Amino acid sequence: MLGNTFGRLFRITSCGESYGDAMMIILDGMPAGIRITDADVQKDLDRRRPGTSPLDSPRQETDQVKIVSGMLEGCTTGAPLGMIIYNVDRHQIHVDQYRQKKDLHRPGHAELTYYVKYGDSFDWCGAGRASGRETVGRVAAGAVAKLLLARESIEVVGYVKELYGIKSRPMPFDQIKANLLKTKISCPDLEAAQKMIEATLKVKEEGDTVGGIIEVIARGVPAGLGEPAYDKISATIAHGLMSIPAVKGIEFGAGFELARMKGSQANDIPYVENGKIKFRTNHAGGVLGGITNGDDLVLRVVVKPTSTISIPQETINMVKMENTKLAAITRRDPTICGRAVVVCEAVVAICIVDHLMMARGYEAVQKLDKPFKI
Amino acid sequence: MLGNTFGRLFRITSCGESYGDAMMIILDGMPAGIRITDADVQKDLDRRRPGTSPLDSPRQETDQVKIVSGMLEGCTTGAPLGMIIYNVDRHQIHVDQYRQKKDLHRPGHAELTYYVKYGDSFDWCGAGRASGRETVGRVAAGAVAKLLLARESIEVVGYVKELYGIKSRPMPFDQIKANLLKTKISCPDLEAAQKMIEATLKVKEEGDTVGGIIEVIARGVPAGLGEPAYDKISATIAHGLMSIPAVKGIEFGAGFELARMKGSQANDIPYVENGKIKFRTNHAGGVLGGITNGDDLVLRVVVKPTSTISIPQETINMVKMENTKLAAITRRDPTICGRAVVVCEAVVAICIVDHLMMARGYEAVQKLDKPFKI
Amino acid sequence: MLGNTFGRLFRITSCGESYGDAMMIILDGMPAGIRITDADVQKDLDRRRPGTSPLDSPRQETDQVKIVSGMLEGCTTGAPLGMIIYNVDRHQIHVDQYRQKKDLHRPGHAELTYYVKYGDSFDWCGAGRASGRETVGRVAAGAVAKLLLARESIEVVGYVKELYGIKSRPMPFDQIKANLLKTKISCPDLEAAQKMIEATLKVKEEGDTVGGIIEVIARGVPAGLGEPAYDKISATIAHGLMSIPAVKGIEFGAGFELARMKGSQANDIPYVENGKIKFRTNHAGGVLGGITNGDDLVLRVVVKPTSTISIPQETINMVKMENTKLAAITRRDPTICGRAVVVCEAVVAICIVDHLMMARGYEAVQKLDKPFKI
Amino acid sequence: MLGNTFGRLFRITSCGESYGDAMMIILDGMPAGIRITDADVQKDLDRRRPGTSPLDSPRQETDQVKIVSGMLEGCTTGAPLGMIIYNVDRHQIHVDQYRQKKDLHRPGHAELTYYVKYGDSFDWCGAGRASGRETVGRVAAGAVAKLLLARESIEVVGYVKELYGIKSRPMPFDQIKANLLKTKISCPDLEAAQKMIEATLKVKEEGDTVGGIIEVIARGVPAGLGEPAYDKISATIAHGLMSIPAVKGIEFGAGFELARMKGSQANDIPYVENGKIKFRTNHAGGVLGGITNGDDLVLRVVVKPTSTISIPQETINMVKMENTKLAAITRRDPTICGRAVVVCEAVVAICIVDHLMMARGYEAVQKLDKPFKI
């Protein structure tokens, strides 16, 4: 397996899988002199933690993080931050359950492609590295990234925009933040949230699962981040988000709606007000030519319905190469949208810090006297 | 400016801008022993070339490519392929036109963010590196990538799926290929193509522009490509496609529709037929856990309507920081969707070759006896 | 701090410092299906471990490694290998000793440059990340790399070639291996080893330290590894070795002696014997044009004398910016050459695996029918 | 072939080979707003150009460089700088000469390893990409890097320190600069230079060639550049220099002499004078813990004697796999040390700019108030 490192200067490397001993995260590019505690990271991990509501998998992981390197007396030293989270809810009974089905492809899951790639030694236990557990590492790193961004007054906030067709109505940024943690589904429109939860529980009863759309807004991002050619900030964010398990699409600003608009409608008209540049609309999602324009960074990802369902399915035995049936599976998330919000925030935050470092390094060598700041 | 290289092993590095002397492409990771001619590359460049129909910008670029390194007596040697394309349609009259407006932000364009980032020396001429001309490099590299893929019977085909709300009806892969070049809009549904062209010309008359959706299908991609964590094949393809100018979203398989589906609908049910694994549907777009599953790779991108319109717009003078007006601009593409098809194909092809190299290198060290091949 | 990842496909990322809680290593690019135990890694760690002879620092670290991810039932799964080693010999008394001197620059050490780079929050405790403790990560990863190489019958063996002017006489490869662990100084010429140890202990009595030269030989490396331009195998190995603390030079084959030779002397004359290509000499150190030629890879690094001495030295107070004195320091290694041998082996082994993956991936896409194998 | 890009943020990608049409260089990470002309680059290329003295190969290349992208009206725009140099001295007669010997391994050259790696299609003409011609790209990029460094008052100067055993005596930096171009051998000690030239011409008469040692000094490098772990500035410079054809070793500061020194001799004692930190010696070569300490960066590389000699040699026919003879070759450099000086300078300059960008980017995010500057 390749590719367990993400980022250029500020970068996360992670390991760990569903039923391994521990998840480890190494965060490179850490500035020195930052006060940080395990609790700062734990806060975001708790938002992702399973087993806290009927919407989640019943798996009980405490997800207790410990920072084991990169600190001296409560303060970062500049050395890479090492974080470790031990897996606790791994019982032999579950291992044995997975073992029984290890030759079967669970539709929508990755064991089929893992088997092709890694052969008989592939990790059949709890989806291995393909499990959503991998995202623990992203959330831990993202929590640190957000701390750094907060020093520049940059906020990254995600929420469930749509679930199984039920939409959150548009709301001001501050209200999104205020309501975000009020429901387990991370939807700030509390009325819609209620409907989402009810719909999900109903579908859960049927043994089924639902998907949805998460929107992430980054406010306060300075203009000028992103590299114009292959490393547009929208491109590196898309890379990071599309690598989250279950994410199958991403769009910035007006996104796919742009296919039905004319140029005169799509263009965001700028104006100067009190010496600052503003825009009448934000169809661009805050990105022009791959570079932030000072407006909110706005993007959405689609999260597919959880593949694990408790309805029997047709499938194949990968080893015997024959058709067979997969019985209903009970331990599962009726939806992962709520828990995935903080994962998406994390990836966006990591990308922004990375681009900040690249942009500031480039500028320092350029020594431009910038004529203005959006 | 950073980030003018894309790919890990098989990688493109490019330079060149709208009004520079030349576009150069260096393609690293080239295998030795491949017969290739300028004409093989030219064929795809001609599909992207402007000025060939009323749908395009009237700019006349011949886009003649010359391979200047990496070859000996008609055959690649393994050394990086160097390609150069001189810009020819760059007249003083156009430079002067751009100079007059260089302090103005053309809504939807990147000069605002370039000015923030590069200061007074930013390239105000024809959009500089932010111009669609940058994609010449991708197309040239993509043409070579496709040649390599053809040796493994992998085909990458794109087409306009939707334009300004007009949709191409679903068609078999072979018919898409057969019809692709029959119209200037690269839509294989010839009836829809006709409507698209008419609608575009009508909008053009109004001085406006339209956007659309491009679908790319890669057939014959072996199962097992893609790295499970941060470098899922869907993630690196998303990175590459989202870095194409004007692309604002990407989705794989059922994409954003998954937000409205249940797990039991979304899961692609596999079956074995004649010793091969097949799927009843392809909602996953050929990717499970970030790894190709042997089915078609299917993805779509949204292309925003061209920002340049010949309708006057409100805007700002970036230098004086004051509100002003931008007059209508006549030299422009009413839509770039048709021309962008081959650009999207190129990026996908480059990514697949890159993943092939990574996967094959990994496997060789692993020395797995693969039990089967999808 | 940036740059805590090394390698392209097979790559190590590490964190941890002298007085942190733990050292963590994430090894990416791991093949699946390899049986491996903690003991396989421990074996090499024990060769690097301090406190085992009067030649070492008296610091008592057990360096017990635990593999916490990437395995299932004793076998690698292809997921990144996560390894953790807790630091145990970290007592408050030592922390307090370091604290007292934290504003002083210990000549030859890195606290001066760390202070410049990381400011007041720099890690003043036991040299932080600049400590030789960092190399624990390299050794752990290297042990795994050697296991992989063993499957291709590639062996990587290092030894102390020279210490404080005392030279090991030339010996056959098998004898080097046989004698390597017989002395604490890792010199296979047992007579020279005895002299080295005596000289070192004598210098230790004076409160001083000594440096030396380590040679590494990799036998069985197939011809064809290395990338011809910027990533010659000699270049990436030089990168890795020069990044080991205390290493200040590296040379391949005849190395610096080539400055005094003529071309006719330097050229290694090839000949064919029993259908195989051999060379009469190995002045090239097994590398032609940056690519292995099938002969032994042979290189040497110079290791400076340990900077910590128990002789008082003139120095500066970095904070007050004034001249001062540094008292003698007692806890130290009279030489680190013996312990550094396995570190050098590790870096070379990691580089070879990385190049193997790159070369095999490239070749697979090239599908060359190789006409012969050296 | 992989690995034709070097650097992280400021990075060179190049292509071109001995008998290809052209050498192309793409320099990424270029700051905007720099006035630069072809002549600025040409100046350094002329120092590397062959055919200008009896010490060089008689090949006549004008090496005329043209900047074809990244500029607008004489000033860089921030877009990557594209440079092209057409090969002119490539006559059919030489191609035919190479063709006759294409199955033979010329001892010391790379065709053997290229043949293994690239098969029958390997480039047998004039050493292909393994030719010293590749270094044209480094020199062009290095000339630009030096321009950038000059703005921070950083100078990078190399010279021939030793040739065929004849040594240049130690000289002050300014005198090295003053004398550098006075002789064709780039040795500032004019007396030694005379001896070097005489010795070389004498060896040339014998049909043989000589090697030597080049020292590079970078003055004015600020303290704090380099990344402490795997990307120490000494490590990335070693990477770059060891990838230059014919370079077989590198050492910083006292280098291999450290193997014979005690710690008390090797440590550079610091002192404060006029509010600045200085050192009594520079055995460290300006690097502590992989980070520049504000003193001169000093390093040396060994350049092997040119492999091409006009003395007949035993060798093999690689295709037939049989022993044979190689006749004397007349077109060659009696030594390449003089011409390689500017190549070494270039690599060091590129590395410093790259590290400057990384360090400044990191610091900006860190927002340290640096307490002092060395």
What CATH number has the domain bearing residue C238?
Answer: 3.60.150.10
- Residue A258 has its nearest CB partner, among B114, B116, B304, at B304
Contact B235 A234 (CB under 8 A): no
Number of domains observed in the structure of chain A = 1
Place of tokens 């059919």: D92
* Nearest chain D CA: its distance from A232 CA (Å): 14
C-beta separation of D359 from D225 below 8 A: yes
The pLDDT, as a whole number, for residue B83 is: 98
Q: What are C140-166's pLDDT values in tens digits?
A: 999 999 999 999 899 999 999 999 999
Contact B309 A232 (CB under 8 A): no
Nearest-CA residue of chain D relative to A366? D31
Contact B289 A245 (CB under 8 A): yes
Contact A362 D29 (CB under 8 A): yes
B344 found inside a domain: yes
The pLDDT, as a whole number, for residue B231 is: 98
Q: What are D9-47's pLDDT values in tens digits?
A: 999 999 999 999 999 999 999 999 999 999 999 999 999
D372 pLDDT tier (thresholds 50, 70, 90): very low
Amino acid C203 reads V
- How big is the B-D interface in CB pairs under 8 Å? 184
A136 found inside a domain: yes
Contact A359 D360 (CB under 8 A): no
Contact D361 A366 (CB under 8 A): no
Whether A368 and chain D come into contact, CB under 8 Å, resolves to: yes
Whether D95 and chain B come into contact, CB under 8 Å, resolves to: no
D320 found inside a domain: yes
Instruction: Report the phi/psi class of residue C68: left, alpha or beta, with left for phi > 0 and alpha for psi in -120 to 50.
Output: alpha
The pLDDT, as a whole number, for residue B368 is: 54
The pLDDT, as a whole number, for residue C107 is: 97
pTM for the model stands at 0.97
How large is the average pLDDT for residues D264-286? 97
Alpha helix (H) ranges present in B133-250?
135-150, 173-179, 190-205, 233-242
Contact A31 D357 (CB under 8 A): no
The pLDDT, as a whole number, for residue D252 is: 98
Instruction: Output the 3-class SS for D246-287.
Output: CEEEEEECCHHHHHHCEHHHHCCCEEEECCEEEECCCCCCCE
Give the max Cα distance, chain D. Answer: 71
Whether C134 and chain A come into contact, CB under 8 Å, resolves to: no
Q: Which chains touch A (3 or more CB pairs under 8 A)?
A: B, C, D
Contact D316 C260 (CB under 8 A): no
Q: What is the Cα gyration radius of chain B? A: 22
Amino acid D32 reads A
Q: What are B124-139's pLDDT values in tens digits?
A: 999 999 999 999 999 9
* Nearest chain A CA: its distance from B72 CA (Å): 30
The pLDDT, as a whole number, for residue A343 is: 98
Task: Return d(Cα A342, Cα A47) in angstroms, integer.
Answer: 7
Mean confidence (pLDDT) of chain C: 94
Half-sphere exposure of C345 toward its Cβ, with a 13 Å CA cutoff?
A: 32
Residue D171 in this model has a pLDDT that exceeds 90: yes
DSSP A104: B
- CA distances (Å), origin B332, targets B210, D329, D347: 12, 59, 43
C-beta separation of C51 from C58 below 8 A: yes
* Nearest chain A CA: its distance from D190 CA (Å): 37
Q: Which residues are registered as beta bridge partners of B6?
A: B12
C-beta separation of D51 from D11 below 8 A: no
Chain D positions in Cβ-Cβ contact with residue A32 (cut-off 8 Å): 366, 368
Place of tokens 């003083």: B92
Contact A117 B291 (CB under 8 A): yes
User: Which regions of chain A are under pLDDT 70?
Assistant: 368-374
Among A230, A362, A368, A370, the residue to mutate for chain D (most D Cβ within 10 A): A362
The pLDDT, as a whole number, for residue C368 is: 54
How large is the average pLDDT for residues D194-211? 96
* Buried b / exposed e along A16-50 (16+ C-beta atoms within 10 A): bbbbbbbbbbbbbbbbbbbebeeebbbebbbbbbb
Contact D32 B121 (CB under 8 A): yes
- Residue D13 has its nearest CB partner, among B5, B17, B77, at B5
Contact D249 C240 (CB under 8 A): no
D370 pLDDT tier (thresholds 50, 70, 90): very low
Percentage of residues of chain C with pLDDT beyond 90: 89
Whether B32 and chain D come into contact, CB under 8 Å, resolves to: yes
User: Reduced to 3 states, what is the DSSP secondary structure of residue D339?
Assistant: helix
Task: Give residue A102's domain range.
Answer: 5-366
Residue D368 in this model has a pLDDT that exceeds 70: no
The pLDDT, as a whole number, for residue A155 is: 98
* Nearest chain D CA: its distance from A287 CA (Å): 19
Residues counted in chain C: 374
Number of Cβ within 10 Å of residue D102's Cβ equals 16
Whether C12 and chain A come into contact, CB under 8 Å, resolves to: no
D372 found inside a domain: no
- Residue D121 has its nearest CB partner, among B29, B75, B123, at B75
Amino acid A158 reads G
Interface of A with D in 326-365 (CB under 8 A): 353, 356-365
A374 found inside a domain: no
Nearest-CA residue of chain C relative to D2? C227
Whether C23 and chain A come into contact, CB under 8 Å, resolves to: yes
DSSP string computed for C33-99: EEE--HHHHHHHHHHH-SSSSTTS--------EEEEESEETTEEESSPEEEEEE-----HHHHHHHH
Whether C69 and chain B come into contact, CB under 8 Å, resolves to: no
Contact A248 B248 (CB under 8 A): no
Chain A positions in Cβ-Cβ contact with residue B292 (cut-off 8 Å): 113
- Residue B266 has its nearest CB partner, among A5, A211, A251, at A211
Among D13, D102, D356, the residue to mutate for chain B (most B Cβ within 10 A): D13
Q: What are B319-331's pLDDT values in tens digits?
A: 999 999 999 987 7
B371 found inside a domain: no
Task: Return d(Cα C359, Cα C366) in angstroms, integer.
Answer: 10
- Residue C238 has its nearest CB partner, among D114, D250, D256, at D250
φ, ψ (nearest 5 deg) of residue A269:
-80, 125
Task: Return d(Cα C374, Cα C371) in angstroms, integer.
Answer: 10
Chain C positions in Cβ-Cβ contact with residue A33 (cut-off 8 Å): 118-121
Contact B361 C366 (CB under 8 A): no
Contact C13 A1 (CB under 8 A): no
Residue C176 in this model has a pLDDT that exceeds 80: yes
C-beta separation of A81 from A27 below 8 A: yes
Task: Return d(Cα B199, Cα B334) in angstroms, integer.
Answer: 10
Residue D260 in this model has a pLDDT that exceeds 80: yes
Q: Which chains touch C (3 or more CB pairs under 8 A)?
A: A, B, D
Chain D positions in Cβ-Cβ contact with residue A229 (cut-off 8 Å): 80
C331 pLDDT tier (thresholds 50, 70, 90): confident
Chain B positions in Cβ-Cβ contact with residue A253 (cut-off 8 Å): 248
Per-residue pLDDT of chain B (374 residues; tens, 9 = 90+): 999 999 999 999 999 999 999 999 999 999 999 999 999 999 999 999 877 788 877 778 889 999 999 999 999 999 999 999 999 988 888 899 999 999 999 999 999 999 999 999 999 999 999 999 999 999 999 999 999 999 989 999 999 999 999 999 999 999 999 999 999 999 999 999 999 999 999 999 999 999 999 999 999 999 999 999 999 999 999 999 999 999 999 999 999 999 999 999 999 999 999 999 999 999 999 999 999 999 999 999 999 999 999 999 999 999 999 999 999 987 788 999 999 999 999 999 999 999 999 999 998 888 754 444 44
C-beta separation of D273 from C316 below 8 A: no
- Residue B307 has its nearest CB partner, among A234, A263, A271, at A263
Contact A371 B129 (CB under 8 A): no
Contact A260 B288 (CB under 8 A): no
How large is the average pLDDT for residues C90-119? 93
φ, ψ (nearest 5 deg) of residue D354:
-60, -45
Whether B33 and chain C come into contact, CB under 8 Å, resolves to: yes
Residue D295 in this model has a pLDDT that exceeds 60: yes
Residue D323 in this model has a pLDDT that exceeds 80: yes
Chain A positions in Cβ-Cβ contact with residue B208 (cut-off 8 Å): 262-264
Contact B20 D69 (CB under 8 A): yes
Q: Which chains touch D (3 or more CB pairs under 8 A)?
A: A, B, C
- Residue C76 has its nearest CB partner, among A24, A80, A121, at A121
The pLDDT, as a whole number, for residue C371 is: 44
A371 found inside a domain: no
Interface of A with B in 273-292 (CB under 8 A): 275, 277, 283-285, 288-292
Question: Among B358-367, C47-56, C157-166, D269-278, which is the least confidently predicted range?
Answer: C47-56
A57 found inside a domain: yes
